[in-house]
Structure 1
Amino acid sequence: MADIRILLNDKSITDLKAPSVGQYRARDTQLKGFHVIVGRRTKTFAVQGDLRKDGKRVASISVRIGDVGTTSTREARTTAKAYLAQISRGQHPNPKAADMVAGGNEALQTSEDQPTRREDDATPKGVTLRKAWERYRDAHLIRKGRSEGTIEGYRDHVERLFKDWLDVPLQELADDPAKVIARHDELTKQRGPYIANGSMRTLRAVYNHARRAHRYLPADNPASVVDWNSEERRNTAMGLNDLPHWFQQVAVLPGPIRREFHLFSLLSGCRPTALMEAKPQHLNLRRRVLHIPRPKGGADRAFDIPLSRQMILCLIRVIRFAHYLYPCEANNWLFPADSDSGHLAEQKEDRDVLAKWGNDLRQTFRTLATPAGVSEFDARLLMNHAIPGVNAGYISRHKLLEDHLRVQQQAISSTIFGALGDLIARETAVRSWLGLRATPQAIEAAKRDADEALHTAA
C-alpha cells in the first residue's frame, strides 16, 4: 500500500486502515519527517531525516518514537520536534546507533566527543559560525515561531553561501573584516546585489546573537563594514489600463487552479507563499474571511483576509475545480496540485505567457487601493503590514474587520473588475472563465473529454 499524507491527530490515526500485506507510512502534512508506520497489527510513531556531517548528508535515518496505543499524538509530535532538531545538528537521537549509521570508516560524533566540542567552544576563539547559527535558529527563529520559509532563507545563506566558513570561529571573521568584505563583493558579482546584501544581514544577525553569550567577541560586527549594494524597490505594479490585457492572459492559462490562484493573489494582495498553504478549514464563508495562520513573521502575525464578492466567487470556483481534479488533496488544501506537498508549490509563469504574477500582484493591489479610495492606513491593514508609530498597539484589527475593512476590500475588487469594461462579454476566453455558469460548464466539458479519451483508447 502506498504512503499517504494527512494531518496526524488521534482521530485520523485511529481511522488508518491496516494493510493486507507489509506496511505503509502516513506522513504528517504539518511537521516534515513526522509519520506513523502502519503495519498489519501495530501503528508506530516515527521521525525521518537526513543526518549530516560537515554539511554533507551521511545517511537518511528513521527513529521510532513509540506505539500509538501508549503515546498520544501530541506527545509524539513534541518528541518528534526534539528528535528532528537533534538530527539537523548532526546528532543521532539514539546514541547507540550513531556509530552504525555512517557506514564504513566515516564515524559520526558520539556522546563521548561532545564534551571536547563544548570545551573548544569555551576557548577565546571557540564559537564557530556553525554553532552560532544552530543556537540562533533554535533559540531565536524556532522559539519565536518564525515561518518555515523564513528559517529556510536563513539556512540557505549560512549553509550554502557560507559553507566554507561553518567551522571558522566568529572571532576570526571579526579580526579580519576584509575577508567578509571580499565575500560580499564576490556574492554581488556571482549572485546579485540583493542576495549579497541578504546574506550579510543574516551573518550580522547570527553574530549579534552569539555575542550575547560570548562577550569576548568584538563589539564591531564584521558584517556591518561591507559596502551595501543599493536596493531599489521593484516597480512592477499594473495600472487600471493594464488589467484587461492581464485578465486575457490569465484566461488562457491551461490550469484552472493556477488561474484562480493568480486572480486571488491580485484581489487579496496576499503573499504567494502564505496563500499556497491555505486550507479549507481556514475559510469561513459565514464571516466571509480567509484565515492566514502563518504569514511572513510567523504565527504571531496571523490575520484574517476579509472577502469581497469577487473573492468569494473565485474561491468557490477553485473549490469546485479542486474536488474534480484533485479529490484527495482538495480535502487538505485550497489550492491543491500534483506536488510532494499536495498544494500549489510553484507560481512562476513565463513572462511572455503571463506578464505579472507573485509579488507583482501584491504591488498592484497596493497601487490600485489609491484609485479605489482606500487610505494608506487601511491598505496596510489589508496587506498585514506593520503599522508604524506608537498608535499601532492601540489598534484592534479584528474590530475593524467585520464591516470597515470588508468595505475597503470590496472597493478594491470593484475597481479592478470595473476596469475590465465589457471584456467578459466581448472575449470568449474570459467569458468561459468568469461568465455565468462558466465553472460547471467547464467541468462538464472536461468530463466529456475524459470519456471520449477513454472510449478512443478502448
Structure 2
Amino acid sequence: MADQREFLTDKSIARLCAGEKQYKVRDSELPGFFVLVGKRRKTFMAQGEFWRDGVREFTAQVKLGDFGEMTTRQARGKAKEALGSIAKGQRPGEAPKIKPGSITLRQAWERYRDAHMKRKGRNSGTIEGYRDHMERLFKDWLDNPLARLGRQPHLVVERHEKLSKENGPYIANGSMRSLRAVYNHARKSNPDLLAVNPVSAIDWNKEHRRNTGMGPNDISGWLRELYAMDNPLRQEFHLFTLFSGSRPTALKKIRFEHVDLRRRIIHIPRPKGGEEKAFDIPLSRPMIRSIIRAIRWGRILYSAQATPWLFPADSEPGHLVEHKEERNILSKWGNDLRQSYRTLAQAAGVSELDIHLLMNHSLPGVNAGYITRDRLLRDHLRQQQQRISELIAHSVLSERDPSIVRWLGSANVDETAGRTETKHRFETMSMAA
C-alpha cells in the first residue's frame, strides 16, 4: 500500500484500519513524522536525514512510542526533538560526542606523524616528505575539517590537477599518496569520516621509471668525470654509492661504529622503511679500499667532524647533507647510481634474488620469505658483491689514464705510486685553498 498523507490527530489515527501489510501515514504538517500501521499496533515514528555541503551523510529512523500509550501531541513533540538532533548530525540514541568530522587536516597529520610514523621508526627523510606535502602543498587546508574533503572530493581532484600543472606529475601524485595515508589513518578513530577516501576520485598521472642507469660501457667515461672533481671525499661518496647500490640518504649517515672491516660489512640501522628494515652491506675489496680513502680524506678535510662520520662535512649535523652535483660536472649521481648498480649486477650474472638481497628490497614470492639473509651474508652475498665490483674494476683497468688506475688502488698498481698520487692531490687542494 502506498504511503498516505494527512494531518495526524488522535481521532484520525484511531480510524486507521490494519492491513495485510504494514503501511505508513505521514503527517502533512511535520515532515519526517509518521505513524506505522501494522496488524496489531500503530507506532509513532520519526525519520530524518543529515546533509552537509550538499551531500547526504546518513538517514536515521527512530521509534517514538505506540499509539494508545502516548497521544499524538506527545509524539509530535518527541518527533521534533528527534528530527532536530538528526539535523545537527547526531544519530538517535547516540550519546553526544565530539562533533562529527571535526578533526582538521592539521590534527590528522600530526596524529599520523606522531602515532604512526615516529612510533614505527620511519626514516626522517620520509617524515620530512610528508611534512612538505601537508604543510606546504595543502597549507590552506590544514585548519579545515578533514570531513569536508570526504564530502567534496572534487576539491581533491581540482588540487591534484593544479599541482600537476604547477609542480609536476610526480609531486602531484606523491602528495596525494600522503593525503590518502593521513585520511585512512584518521578514519580509524573518526568513524564519522566517510569510508570512501576522497583521493580515490583523482585520475593518477602516468609515471615512468627514470631509466638513468649506466651499463658496463658507460662506467669508464663516468669515472673520468668523477676523477676530475675537486673534492676527493665527495668522489669517494659517489664511487661507494655505485659500488654498494645503496640509497644516498642512508650512506650519508654512516658512522664509524657501523663499519666493521674485520667482518667486511657496513650496518645500515635505519634505511628506508625504518629500523625493522635494518641490514648489512657486504664489502668487496674495492669497497674496502674506497672506505679507507674516505677515512683518510675525512681526517684531512674535516678533522672536527671526522670522528663519528664516514663522510664528514662542514654542515650542521657534521656529515654530508647535499650529494647533488652539477650535471655538466658529474652526469650521474644519487639514484642514477643505484639504477646503475642494478644494471651492472644483471650484467655480472648475479641472480634476481641475490640482487634483491643486496639492495635490501622486499623479497618476491612466498618461498623467498624463508630465506635467512644473515646466513648468506658472510660468503655467498659477498661473492656476488665482489662480482659486481670486478665488473666496475674491469672498466678501470681498461682506462688509459694511469692516475685513475692508481686512485682506485687496483691490485695490479704499485702502492707507492698510489700514495704519491694522493699526496700530490692534497698539496694541490691546499694551494687552492
TM-score, normalised to structure 2, is: 0.74
Q: Does 1:188 align with 2:167?
A: no
Equivalent in 278, 283, 288 of residue 259 of structure 2: 283
What SS does structure 1 have at the residue aligned with 2:108? helix
Query: By how many angstroms is 1:370 displaced?
Result: 1.4
Counterpart of 2:351 in structure 1 is 375
Q: CA deviation at 1:453?
A: 8.4
Partner of 1:305: 281
Give the superposition deviation at 1:223: 0.9
Return the alpha-carbon distance in structure 2 between the equivalents of residues 303 and 354 of structure 1: 29
Q: Which residue of 1 aligns with 2:396?
A: 420
Maintained 8 Å contact 2:170/2:207: yes
Comparing 439-448 with 338-347, greater Cα deviation is found at 439-448
- Paired with 1:326 and 1:154, the residues of 2 have a C-alpha distance of 33
Are 1:346 and 2:322 an aligned pair? yes
Which blocks of at least 5 consecutive residues in structure 1 are unaligned? 1-119
- Measured after TM superposition, the shift of residue 325 of structure 1 is 1.3
Unaligned runs of 5+ in 2: 1-95, 410-414
- 2:149 aligned partner: 173
Q: Within 5 A, what are the aligned runs for 1:63-212? A: 122-212=98-188
1:391 is displaced (CA, Å) by 2.6
2:403 and 2:421 in contact (8 A); partners too: no
Q: Which residue of 1 aligns with 2:223?
A: 247
CA distance in structure 1 between the partners assigned to 2:431 and 2:338 by the alignment? 41
Residue 279 of structure 1 and its aligned partner are, at CA, apart by: 0.8
The answer on whether the counterparts of 1:317 and 1:439 sit within 8 Å (CA) in structure 2 is no
Q: Distance in 1 between matches of 2:342 and 2:359?
A: 8
8 Å CA contact retained: 1:321, 1:443: no
Q: Which residue of 1 aligns with 2:307?
A: 331
Q: Distance in 2 between matches of 1:362 and 1:121?
A: 51
Q: What amino acid is aligned across from residue 336 of structure 1 in structure 2?
A: P
With over 3 angstroms needed to count, the CA separation of the structure-2 counterparts of 1:394 and 1:447, relative to structure 1, is closer
Where do residues 10-21 of structure 1 align in structure 2 (5 Å cutoff)? none
Secondary structure of residue in 2 paired with 1:205: helix
Whether contact under 8 Å (2:153, 2:199) holds in the other structure is yes
The corresponding residue for 2:48 is none
CA displacement, residues 15-65 of structure 1 (integer Å, 9 cap, x when unaligned): xxxxxxxxxxxxxxxxxxxxxxxxxxxxxxxxxxxxxxxxxxxxxxxxxxx
SS at 1:330 equivalent: coil
Among 421, 424, 427, the residue aligned to 1:445: 424
Q: CA deviation at 1:145?
A: 0.6
Q: What is the distance in 2 between the residues matched to 1:217 and 1:295?
A: 34
Superposition map of 1:35-46 within 5 A: none
Which position in structure 2 is the counterpart of 1:434? 408
What SS does structure 1 have at the residue aligned with 2:346?
A: coil
Q: Quote the residue 1:266 is aligned against.
A: 242
3-state SS, counterpart of residue 313 of structure 1: helix
The SS at the match of 2:347 is coil
Q: CA RMSD in A?
A: 1.9
Distance apart, 1:451 and its partner CA: 7.8
Q: Secondary structure at the match of 2:188?
A: helix
Distance in 1 between the 2:396 and 2:423 partners?
A: 27
For residues 321 and 432 of structure 1, the distance between their equivalents in structure 2, rounded to whole angstroms, comes to 16
Q: Kindly tell me: are residues 163 and 323 of structure 1, through their superposed partners in 2, closer, same or farther at Cα, counting changes over 3 Å? A: same
Offset, 1:131: 0.6
Counterpart amino acid of 2:424? Answer: A
Deviation at 1:265, TM superposition (A): 0.4
Q: Deviation of residue 395 (structure 1)? A: 1.7
Rounded to whole Å, the distance in 1 between the matches of 2:427 and 2:100 is 74
Q: Is the 2:156–2:198 contact (alpha carbons within 8 Å) kept by the matching residues of 1?
A: yes
The amino acid across from 1:253 in the alignment is M
Counterpart of 2:383?
Answer: 407
Partner of 2:197: 221
| CA-CA distance at 1:431 after TM superposition | 3.8
Cα distance in 2 for residues equivalent to 1:407 and 1:445: 34
The alignment partner of 2:306 has SS state of helix
For 2:310, the aligned partner's letter is L
Counterpart of 2:271 in structure 1 is 295
Give 3-state SS (helix, strand or coil) of 2:332's partner.
Answer: coil
Q: Note the alpha carbon deviations across 1:81-113, whole angstroms, 9 max, x for none.
A: xxxxxxxxxxxxxxxxxxxxxxxxxxxxxxxxx
C-alpha distance 341-452 of structure 1, shift in aligned 2 (>3 A): closer
Q: Counterpart of 2:378 in structure 1: which amino acid?
A: E
Aligned partners of 1:452 and 1:197: how far apart in 2?
Answer: 49
**Contact 2:396–2:405 (8 Å) recurs in 1:** no
Please tell me whether the aligned partners of residues 407 and 422 of structure 2 are also in contact (alpha carbons under 8 angstroms): no
Contact 2:397 2:405 in 1 (8 A): no
Please give the alpha-carbon distance, in whole angstroms, between the structure 1 residues aligned to 2:426 and 2:183.
58
1:383 Cα deviation after fit: 0.2
| Cα pair 2:348 2:387 within 8 Å, conserved | yes
Q: What SS class does the counterpart of residue 406 from structure 1 fall into? A: helix
Measured after TM superposition, the shift of residue 447 of structure 1 is 6.0
The residue type paired with residue 196 of structure 2 is D
- Change in Cα spacing, 1:376 to 1:123, as seen in structure 2 (3 Å) is same
CA distance in 1, matches of 2:378, 2:406: 33
Superposed counterparts of 1:45-64, under 5 Å = none
Shift of 1:433: 2.3
How far apart, in 2, do the equivalents of 1:452 and 1:375 lie?
48
- Tell me how far 1:434 sits from its aligned partner: 2.3
Secondary structure in 1 matching 2:396:
coil
Contact 1:269 1:366 in 2 (8 A): yes
Aligned residue for 2:120, secondary structure, equals coil
